[in-house]
Structures are given as C-alpha cells and as structure tokens.
Amino acid sequence: MTLWFENRLGDMRQIAHCESWADVYRSIREFIDQANAAKRPGEPRFKSYYSRTWEDENTGMTKIDVGSWNEFFYVSEV
C-alpha cells in the first residue's frame, strides 16, 4: 500500500509504503509528529482526536480524515 498526503492546496505527495493498516496509522502519526517538530516555538501543534476512512469517489483510494479541515491522507493499494 502507498500512503499519500494531500495538503490544503490539493497537492498530493507519497509519504510512505506500508505493509499493513497498522503501518499506515503508524506512518500518519510519525508524519504529524515530524510536522509538529518543524514548527517554530509558539506555533500551534496539530493534535488528531479521531480518524475516519471512506472510499473517495474521485480517486478510488481510501481517504483518511484525522481531524484537519483541509488536509487528508490517502491509501492506494499499489
């Protein structure tokens, strides 16, 4: 499986290759942790309080919402 990140501008990039769904969620946590670590002191850190998944009709991939209003993760089977 390939894990993708879509930013608020709609740009998508690959961020990991995963063997299982546990790897997918671990990679998402690591990505969020790295993004938070890169922020300057005083900038708010992102905290995911939930996740939900569904099949995205436009991409055919599984879309993962982790609580951001405009950034998402996607999983493709390839």
Alpha-carbon gap, residue 25 to 29, rounded angstroms: 6
Number of domains into which the chain is organized: 1
Residue pointed to by tokens 């670590």? 37
pLDDT score at 78:
78
Distance, in Å, from the CA atom of 31 to the CA atom of 52, rounded to the nearest integer, reads 17
Specify the pTM.
0.92
Q: Which residues of 5-22 are buried (b: 16+ CB within 10 A; e: fewer)?
A: bbeeeeeeeebbebeeee
| CA 75 – CA 65 distance, rounded (Å) | 11
Q: Which tens digits make up the pLDDT trace of 26-59?
A: 999 999 999 999 999 999 999 999 999 999 999 9
What range defines the domain where residue 43 resides?
2-76
What's the confidence (pLDDT) of residue 61? 98
